[in-house]
């Protein structure tokens, strides 16, 4: 990937805690079902998996929210379960039930078969990454906004790999944790190596920041989180290339339900921490004490409100982060945007962010 100038690098600057003229914003799951144009492309693809596996269509949906809204970053359209899928577990999406694996990991023999997927098996992700980078180049020859790559955390991937699908209490993986910690360690070790390779390849293909989604870290007991989720993410952060195209490639770590563990998370050396909507930003800033940037954390349900209430809630978030006056805040939701969000609510959010601070040049 040839380095091109960035027309808007506020997101990357905020991740490095450098001053920005306004608070940069992107939204988790910003390319998603709440957008009618996304629904149309998905229909064309035939299924969610076909959409994620066709670089051309993944590029199309990645750019859709950028064409609508003044967002400061693009995020690769993909799914966290591509890695276990490439490991041969047989990913399916069942209507109303979410993701399912045909061959979940349950015993010694299953674990023995696990390996780091070849780069070829995930080639469609890297192709999409490169295609999105090309598509992001604007009429002036500069890249409009940076591109974020991402992966599920090893613990979160293992939750799906071992349960075989979504769960509320995760009894199967937790039974393995308490009965066969050796086995779970092996699952997490190979998954960690797979994620390192996956994110490294995304960076090589053009991802300019990377995010770890630890969706299920918050179901762990307080003293199990560090051992079974955070420790593996720390290994990943340490192993990733720190620079590409002459620029720092910052990392973001998001544990849903991890607001109580920020003191541990910041010690991983990650560049930014994503905060969920239940976490108090004022307390979080005190804990983190300027050692990394913070991303978040509007309740996604605020987007069901009218524009006055949205403006009020957005202002509360900005005030709590003292943003953009204190550098190091990226505005986001505290969780992925709901499929039931009215697209106009996103305009209201972004307008409220830019009130009182200038928009992108």
Q: Distance between CA atoms of 318 and 127, rounded to whole angstroms?
A: 36
Residue 19 phi/psi, 5-degree rounding, is: -65, 145
Site string for a copy of itself, 221-240 (x = CB under 8 A): xxxxx---------------
Shortest gap between Cβ of 306 and a copy of itself (angstroms)?
A: 6
Shortest gap between Cβ of 302 and a copy of itself (angstroms)?
A: 6
Alpha carbon 18 to its chain centroid, in Å, reads: 21
Q: Does 289 bind a copy of itself (CB under 8 A)?
A: no
Q: Does 94 bind a copy of itself (CB under 8 A)?
A: no
Q: Distance between CA atoms of 291 and 286, rounded to whole angstroms?
A: 10
Q: Distance between CA atoms of 139 and 271, rounded to whole angstroms?
A: 31
The sheet with strand 293-298 has its strands ordered as 74-75, 147-152, 209-214, 251-255, 272-274, 293-298, 329-333
The residue annotated as part of the active site, out of 22, 160, 198, 225, is 160
Closest CB to a copy of itself among residues 131, 310: 310
Q: Is 33 a catalytic residue?
A: yes
The residue annotated as part of the active site, out of 9, 72, 79, 271, is 79
Q: Which stretch binds a copy of itself (CB under 8 A): 114-122, 132-140, 237-245, 254-262?
A: 254-262
Alpha carbon 106 to its chain centroid, in Å, reads: 27
Q: Does 185 bind a copy of itself (CB under 8 A)?
A: no
Torsion 1-56-68-202 (CA) sign:
negative
118 DSSP assignment = P
Site string for a copy of itself, 192-221 (x = CB under 8 A): --------------------------xxxx
Q: Is 160 a catalytic residue?
A: yes
Cβ–Cβ < 8 Å for 292, 266: yes
Q: Which stretch binds a copy of itself (CB under 8 A): 35-43, 167-175, 188-196, 350-358?
A: 167-175
Site string for a copy of itself, 8-47 (x = CB under 8 A): ----------------------------------------
Structure tokens at 164: 């075989």
CA-based nearest residue to 277, from 345, 205, 196, 338:
338
Cβ–Cβ < 8 Å for 6, 12: yes
Q: Which stretch binds a copy of itself (CB under 8 A): 33-41, 63-71, 157-165, 175-183?
A: 175-183
Exactly one of 123, 165, 231, 257 binds a copy of itself (CB under 8 A); which one? 257
Q: Distance between CA atoms of 132 and 147, rounded to whole angstroms?
A: 8
Exactly one of 67, 120, 140, 169 binds a copy of itself (CB under 8 A); which one? 169
Q: Which stretch binds a copy of itself (CB under 8 A): 64-72, 83-91, 295-303, 352-360?
A: 295-303
- The CA-based angle 322-29-82, given to 5 degrees, is 130
How many residues of this chain bind a copy of itself (CB under 8 A)? Answer: 38
223: three-class secondary structure by DSSP = helix
For binding to a copy of itself (CB under 8 A), which residues are involved? 169-171, 174-175, 177-179, 218-225, 257, 259-260, 277-281, 283, 299-302, 304-306, 309, 313, 316, 334, 338, 340
Active site residues: 29, 33, 42, 79, 160
């Amino acid at each position: 990937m040839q380095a091109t100038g960035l027309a808007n690098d506020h997101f990357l600057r905020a991740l490095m805690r450098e001053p920005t003229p306004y608070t940069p914003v992107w939204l988790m799951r910003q390319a998603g079902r709440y957008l009618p144009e996304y629904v149309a492309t998905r229909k064309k693809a035939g299924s969610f998996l076909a959409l994620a596996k066709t670089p051309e269509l993944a590029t199309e949906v990645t750019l859709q929210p950028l064409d609508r809204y003044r967002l400061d970053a693009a995020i690769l359209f993909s799914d966290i379960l591509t890695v276990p899928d490439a490991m041969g577990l047989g990913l399916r999406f069942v209507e109303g039930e979410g993701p399912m694996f045909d061959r979940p990991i349950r015993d010694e023999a299953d674990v023995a078969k696990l390996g780091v997927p070849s780069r070829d098996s995930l080639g469609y992700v890297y192709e999409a990454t490169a295609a999105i980078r090309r598509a992001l180049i604007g009429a002036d020859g500069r890249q409009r906004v940076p591109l974020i790559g991402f992966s599920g955390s090893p613990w979160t991937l293992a939750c799906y790999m071992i349960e075989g699908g979504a769960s509320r209490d995760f009894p199967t993986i937790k039974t393995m944790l308490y009965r066969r910690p050796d086995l779970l360690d092996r699952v997490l070790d190979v998954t960690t190596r797979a994620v390192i390779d996956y994110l490294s390849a995304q960076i090589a293909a053009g991802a300019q920041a990377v995010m770890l989604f630890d969706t299920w870290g918050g179901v762990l007991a307080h003293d199990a989180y560090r051992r079974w989720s955070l420790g593996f993410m720390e290994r990943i952060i340490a192993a990733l290339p720190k620079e590409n195209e002459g620029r720092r490639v910052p990392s973001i770590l998001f544990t849903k339900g991890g607001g109580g563990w920020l003191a541990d998370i910041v010690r991983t050396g990650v560049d930014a921490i994503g905060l969920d909507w239940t976490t108090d930003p004022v307390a979080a800033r005190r804990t983190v004490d300027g050692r990394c940037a913070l991303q978040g954390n509007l309740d996604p349900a605020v987007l069901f409100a009218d524009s006055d209430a949205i403006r009020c809630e957005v202002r509360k978030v900005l005030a709590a982060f003292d943003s953009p006056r204190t550098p190091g805040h990226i505005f986001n939701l505290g969780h992925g945007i709901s499929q039931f969000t009215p697209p106009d609510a996103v305009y209201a959010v972004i307008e409220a962010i830019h009130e009182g601070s200038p928009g992108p040049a």
